[in-house]
């Protein structure tokens, strides 16, 4: 067994590998860029080596620097994680040539299966059913349009070295094929250093189901059941689960056996995943093979009780697999939500900056420890006060739950999301909560088009209907009563002039454009010591009991005898007296006033926001990589104005109306903040 390994990665996967290595008594070496010098994976590792500037191409994609770091620290093996160089056959070969061990498949397996074009050819030659398409690299956007027409729209334009939704577009017409090809090439070059792009037919209404494999150097390959990964947004997985609620036992066995045959054909060693597109009739087609550990590996770990990172390390050290196919378990139901730094209410644009608060839910399961199951686990590479840089992907954490069945897993996930506190940047938690509450998701009735079909016009606060909105009103009144109780108990108040608190309140929901809703609430039987009250509102009574302390971002307790978790924030927006409550993905911003104060509040004039319609604003923090207009230029609606890059994704800004450019307010190469003006129209 190795004494020391280097993790050629960053973020949560680097932390995940370090935890298993620590359990196995193996020393670890982290690598880090200038942007990651204070990152969590650097703190967790036994040693750390700086390998260059923030951009990936200057640091995490520098194979020679990584190998030099191995030599410098005496590391015997390299674990590549996922992304970066994990599926780079040249890197794997280089590691082996230097007398080091690559904790992953052999370079020839990566070359055969990791490249999407070559893997399609190999699978076709082996008689595997493949999706119609052109598997040779395409050189020009004009050629891409010609090929797309030949296959028939819609088509999928994919970077050969792509992954994680990077370098991938779906085109429904010539214009989208032309622009999609160009964007794919640029993203692929920046993210993977390989700009080859190919095209295949986009199968509509498909399910994305993948089989987890593990193989050793003694010729043994087994499959560890499947993962359902159909809940995707822009081809990026959002929620993954194991097992799939869709496929039959016979389909599971057939997919697993076919995946094993493919792996054996390329002498596969280590963990890998064979991805399939599955039709309504459970027919399945080979899509691609990921020759690395997957982001969503924890759900497989939960249902099988296996530590996949440990198996990878043991196999790389020459050990045999410790189990046979017949011994693979499938217990309970696991789900994973990817918690990303993006604003779902602003079309999921990246959100970078300081994590002012990062408080995950209480963990009862832990990475690298398969003895504790049927609970909640958080895999993350960040911590309270950490920075989310613009240079890398948007993942903050992975929230994993394991339940006795699918409904139990959904209930656990909803409760865990309620307790996940993230402040300082936006996250996709409200969107995750909405998905988990959607009747079709709960019923298991979905495909890869689920998000596009149900949230095609974007995601709005109204898309998260609360199952009991009066509870949020009652909770706002309860929180306010607790705050007033403290104020009433402050010593030194003048006799006869101390604060007395009434039982009657009005909860004013602060909606857009001043359209406020006002709902009376009575807080009865308030008890400061026990933290209990009975709140009457909307014709119902809510007995709330909580030990919440007034500065806490989370409030936990019982309502009418049932446990609940919610989040509380005071002084939100432009009103320092407002209270923000978040529960089951729904957010209520409210003022809680006395009845008389509520009457006076009605008379307050509404201050309209300034008119910014003449400006093109940056919708997110990012790097301005191109400004496509000049002063005095006439611009038509739909014309390209600027391109902003953040978290390895290009975002193109288009004019929403005809106009003439009056000023260009930002320059190419500038780092932009949210809502920073880029162009002003006359």
Report DSSP state, residue 366: B
| Helix or strand (DSSP H, E) at 331 | none
Contact 620, 349 (CB under 8 A): yes
Active site members: 288
Q: How far are the Cα atoms of 427, 431, 478, 618, 675 from residue 346, in angstroms, in the given order?
A: 11, 12, 31, 11, 11
- What is the CB-side half-sphere exposure of residue 652 using CA atoms within 13 A? 14
Closest CA to 624 of 659, 655, 664, 670: 670
- What is the CB-side half-sphere exposure of residue 295 using CA atoms within 13 A? 28
Environment class of residue 178 by beta-carbon count within 10 Å: exposed (0-12), middle (13-18) or buried (19+)? middle
Residue 670 to residue 625: CA distance in whole angstroms: 8
Q: Which ranges constitute the DSSP H helices of 115-173?
A: 116-125, 141-151
Residue 546 to residue 565: CA distance in whole angstroms: 10
Q: Give the number of other CB atoms < 10 A from CB of residue 370.
A: 16
> What are φ and ψ of residue 121, in 5° steps?
-65, -45
Residue 20 to residue 271: CA distance in whole angstroms: 15
Q: Which residues contact 139 (CB under 8 A, 6 or more apart)?
A: none
Closest CA to 17 of 106, 101, 82, 64: 82
Q: How far are the Cα atoms of 27, 372, 407 from residue 1, in angstroms, in the given order?
A: 11, 25, 41
Encode burial over 665-676: b for 16+ CB neighbours within 10 A, e otherwise.
ebeeeeebebeb
Give Dmax (Cα) for the chain: 92
Q: In a 3-state reduction of DSSP, which class is residue 394?
A: coil
Residue 370 to residue 361: CA distance in whole angstroms: 19
Residue 64 to residue 560: CA distance in whole angstroms: 62
Residue 594 to residue 476: CA distance in whole angstroms: 13
Contact 54, 391 (CB under 8 A): yes
């Amino acid at each position: 067994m190795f004494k020391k390994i280097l993790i050629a990665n960053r973020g949560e996967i680097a932390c995940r590998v370090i935890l298993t290595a620590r359990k196995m008594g193996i020393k670890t070496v982290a690598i880090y860029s200038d942007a990651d010098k204070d990152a969590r994976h650097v703190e967790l590792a036994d040693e750390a080596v700086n390998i260059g500037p923030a951009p990936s191409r200057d640091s995490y994609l520098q194979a020679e620097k990584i190998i030099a770091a191995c030599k410098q620290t005496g590391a015997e093996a390299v674990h590549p994680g996922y992304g970066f160089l994990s599926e780079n056959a040249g890197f794997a070969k280089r590691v082996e040539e230097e007398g080091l061990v690559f904790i992953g498949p052999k370079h020839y397996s990566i070359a055969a299966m990791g490249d999407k074009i070559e893997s399609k050819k190999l699978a076709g030659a082996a008689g595997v059913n493949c999706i119609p398409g052109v598997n040779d690299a395409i050189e020009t956007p004009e050629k891409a349009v010609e090929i797309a027409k030949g296959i028939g729209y819609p088509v999928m334009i994919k970077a050969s070295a792509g992954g994680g939704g990077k370098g991938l577009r779906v085109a429904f017409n010539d214009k989208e094929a032309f622009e999609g090809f160009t964007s794919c090439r640029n993203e692929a070059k920046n993210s993977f250093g390989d700009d080859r792009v190919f095209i295949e037919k986009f199968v509509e209404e498909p399910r994305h189901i993948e089989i987890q494999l593990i193989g050793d150097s003694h010729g043994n390959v087994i499959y560890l059941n499947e993962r359902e990964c159909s809940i995707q947004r822009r081809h990026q997985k959002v929620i993954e689960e194991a097992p799939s609620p869709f496929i039959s036992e016979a389909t599971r066995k057939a997919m697993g056996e076919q995946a094993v045959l493919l792996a054996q054909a390329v002498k596969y060693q280590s963990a890998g995943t064979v991805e399939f597109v599955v039709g309504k009739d459970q027919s399945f087609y080979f899509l691609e093979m990921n020759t690395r550990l997957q982001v969503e590996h924890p759900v497989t770990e939960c249902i099988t009780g296996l530590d996949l990172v440990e198996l990878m390390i043991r196999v790389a050290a020459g050990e045999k697999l410790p189990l046979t196919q017949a011994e693979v378990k499938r217990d309970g139901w696991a789900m994973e939500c990817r918690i990303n730094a993006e604003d779902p209410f602003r079309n999921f644009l990246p959100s970078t900056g300081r994590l002012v608060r990062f408080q995950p839910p209480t963990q009862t399961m832990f990475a690298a420890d398969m003895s504790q199951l049927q609970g909640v686990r958080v895999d993350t590479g960040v911590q309270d006060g950490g920075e989310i840089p613009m240079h890398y992907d948007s993942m903050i954490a992975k929230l994993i739950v394991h339940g006795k069945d699918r409904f139990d897993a959904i209930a656990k996930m909803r409760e865990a999301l309620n307790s996940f506190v993230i402040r300082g940047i936006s996250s996709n938690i409200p969107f995750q909560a909405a998905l988990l509450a959607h009747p079709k998701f709960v019923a298991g009735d979905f495909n890869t088009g689920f998000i596009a079909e149900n949230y095609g016009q974007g995601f709005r606060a109204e898309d998260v209907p609360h199952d009991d909105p009066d509870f949020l009103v009652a909770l706002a009144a309860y929180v306010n009563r607790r705050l007033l109780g403290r104020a009433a108990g402050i010593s030194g108040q003048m006799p006869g002039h101390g604060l007395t608190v009434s039982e009657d309140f009005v909860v004013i929901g602060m909606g857009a454009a001043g359209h406020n809703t006002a709902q009376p609430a009575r807080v009865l039987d308030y008890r400061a010591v026990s933290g209990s009250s009975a709140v009457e509102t909307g014709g119902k009574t809510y007995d709330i009991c909580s030990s919440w302390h007034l500065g806490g971002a989370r409030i936990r307790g019982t309502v009418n005898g049932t446990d609940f978790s919610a989040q509380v924030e005071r002084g939100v927006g432009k009103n320092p007296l407002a209270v923000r409550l978040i529960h089951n993905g729904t957010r209520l911003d409210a003022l809680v006033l006395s009845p008389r104060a509520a009457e006076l509040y009605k008379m307050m004039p509404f201050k309209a926001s300034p008119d910014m319609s003449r400006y093109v604003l940056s919708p997110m923090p990012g790097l301005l990589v191109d400004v496509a207009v000049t002063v005095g230029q006439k611009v038509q609606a739909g014309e390209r104005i600027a391109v902003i890059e953040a978290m390895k994704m290009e975002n193109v800004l288009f004019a929403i109306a005809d106009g003439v450019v009056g000023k260009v307010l930002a320059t190419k190469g500038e780092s932009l903040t949210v809502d920073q003006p880029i162009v002003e129209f006359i």
